[in-house]
A and B are shown apart, each in its own frame.
Chain A
Amino acid sequence: MKFSPLKISLIATAVFGVSVIVYATEKDSPSSGSTFSTTLHNGKIVEVEHYANGMERVSLENMPMHYSVLVRAADDSRTISCVRGDEQGLEGIIEQRHAAPQTQTPVVR
């Protein structure tokens, strides 16, 4: 399909030595003062740090962590996949996947 030539443009004006655009940014320093608290959120211990500039830092007791897990199936074959969990639950995940290996797609082959 052929289109008629169509021209569009951006126009910039440069006036040398007369005017300029000044970009001035001054960041609030995160270290300019903060309040730190430890609290319980959804059953987990949370570190929360509020900064004077409105920034907030949050660390959970157990940040959502991904683990690569090697599982030996009943036929002695091995699969490796990445799961999310905390360390306490990983052995259960391995046992479950050993008993019933998961496929990643919903397709029955």
Chain B
Amino acid sequence: MKKSYFFLLFGLITAQASAQISLNYLDAPGTGFFSEEARTPVAGNMGTTLGEQRRIAMERAVEIWQSHLNPKGPVVIDARFESLPCSALGAVIAGASTISAFQNFPGAPLSDTFYGSALANHLAEEDLDPARSEISVRINAEIDAGNCVTTASMYYGIDSPPPTPGIPFFFRTMLHEIAHGLGFSALIDNDSGDFFFDNPDVFTRNMTYLPTGESWADLTSAERLGAAAAGPLTVWGGRNTQIGSQSQINNGDNLATITRTSDGMVFPAETATFGPRVPAGGITAEIVLVDDGVAPNSDGCEEIINAADVSGKIALIDRGGCDFSTKSSRAEIAGAVAVVIANTNPQQIIELGGTDPGLSIPTLAITLANGQTFRSLANGETLTLLPPGDRPGTFQGRPFLQTPFAFAPGSSISHFDGLTSTGILMRPDSLNIFPADTSSLDVTLTVMRDLGWDVQNIPYPNLDYALWAQLNQASPDGPEDDGDLDGHTNLEEYAFGGDPNDVTSFPAPPVIGLNAGNQVTFDYPLSNQAVDLSFRLLRLDTLPDPNPEVIPAGTLLDGSGEINLMRSNLGDLDTLTPQAFFRVEATRQ
């Protein structure tokens, strides 16, 4: 009887069926998505009418999001063509947003935090508001009608981008805009910096302001407004993205950073095209303003006369008067270990062009405003110059979000910054620059995972313990340390999943289940990235058992995530002994 109870309980454990992202076309017959205007098939879109081509491209975009997000609640997208602003100067192509936002719903990972309808339904695993759709998409009907600019029509191909960048790429635009509706959107008020409705949204919670290391959710409204126009000082702080971006963002950008030792303040900088790059370990030294004895004394165009001060330091030099490489050469002769050149514009960084094969110290460019900050530093203040690394457009693996120096109308923090790779879906200009794979969702997928979507198929990079400890900022960082005092060492959290700084985050317990054919299975978590660990499952009859049985490796239930479940088959229920102990063992090489 008890045995059947066991059956019953495990019989209740069933896989959650994936819900669907569906489209609700709101156009009248013969218009918009139902236009019967004849068209020739184009680039993977075999539709023969305008309406059919629109539906095929739209449904392909939805299908791609469906395949990656595995929604567990319904997502209905209201889509329509309508008249939106257009003129000879330009046109709105399309727009999208969530229709509602929810907080404190069943299954919400964070309390007092807003989630867009689609994501909230997924997390709650039900339709929280059956009376309403989740996402609204509006597309400008005027463009294809030839009523604005001089573009004859949008491009409805799928497999390859339009022949010229200025033609709206409908399929890629839909991928981008739907992402906003799915949650890639900060709901804060652009004008006031206030939260959406007195509480932060989950996107805002994941935004990190580098100078203070705080989440935007912890800044004041005024601070958020300032951060929105502070230049590239805000990154996406989500952990999946921090790890995943290693293999997702790589374009050889020249971004570098300067950190002030006293308070950790981070300043953006650009690497010169001449001279070496800042070495991998960075350069830490005092910064000293040069004096070349000829007004303006700080332009470094003549022999530097305060070489005794400059030697062994970072030379601060003002723009103007001579070639950039000449300034760096003068500083090198004076014994400087690096050069920082301040622009004449308070808010812009200039790219330092030129050549000098003989130069052996790196040169970085900064804004005039930051040059003035460095000029006023007290004696003994040190800076650390850091190289672009192999993940340009990121800081410690976290991609920069769009926070331009001038927060013009329409600017949005809900995009990656232009410093990230060209062609990344959620750059604001991504609709002008396309990747070779027009279906690519790149690092946008890891952001979706950070937000709470059940994203599959992320190509996570390999990790070893040292890199894991660095990325997770484990403190202390030894494998046997337990900084968060949750009873699990760093190494256990590395091997089986857990945050080394969160006492509530630790490896998930194994689960024993009964499956088809009376087969008992054992599911346990393991790192899918760790290249320095090996795992095995042991069966013990007693504790201790000097001769445990090794259970053959099973099947990885999800081979794409950071931590995944391994399922091993224990055998037929009727053949198992009444009691057994199982040990999952991870061995570090």
Contact = CB atoms under 8 A, between A and B. Distances in A.
A102 interface: yes
A61 interface: no
Interface in A50-109: 53-60, 63-72, 77-85, 87, 89-98, 102-109
B126 A15 contact: no
A20 B582 CA distance: 15
Interface residues of A, number: 73
Interface of B is mostly: loop
A57 B100 contact: yes
B88 A72 contact: yes
Contact of A10 (B92, B192, B491, B584): B584
Contacts of A65: 95-97, 136, 180
Given A78-B166, A81-B428, A84-B410, A6 B588 contact: yes
Interface in A1-56: 2-3, 5-18, 20, 22, 27-28, 30-31, 41-42, 46-48, 53-56
A55 to B, nearest CB: 4
Contacts of B577: 16
A13 B166 CA distance: 63
A57 B102 contact: yes
Q: Which of A22, A91, A104 has the most CB of B within 10 A?
A: A104
B350 to A, nearest CB: 5
A72 B411 contact: no
A8 B585 contact: yes
A13 B581 CA distance: 5
Contacts of B143: 70
B166 A80 contact: yes
Given A14-B512, A90-B410, A106-B268, 20 more contacts: A7-B587, A8-B586, A11-B582, A12-B522, A14-B581, A16-B573, A22-B9, A28-B106, A42-B192, A60-B197, A64-B196, A65-B136, A70-B151, A72-B149, A81-B432, A82-B176, A91-B87, A104-B404, A107-B351, A108-B345
Interface of A: 2-3, 5-18, 20, 22, 27-28, 30-31, 41-42, 46-48, 53-60, 63-72, 77-85, 87, 89-98, 102-109
Interface of B: 2-3, 5-6, 9, 84-85, 87-107, 114, 124, 126, 128-130, 136, 143, 149-151, 165-168, 173, 176-177, 180, 185-187, 189-190, 192, 194, 196-197, 231-232, 268, 270, 343, 345, 347-351, 402, 404-405, 408-412, 414-415, 417-419, 427-432, 479, 489, 491-492, 495-496, 507, 509-510, 512, 520, 522, 524-525, 532, 570, 573, 576-589
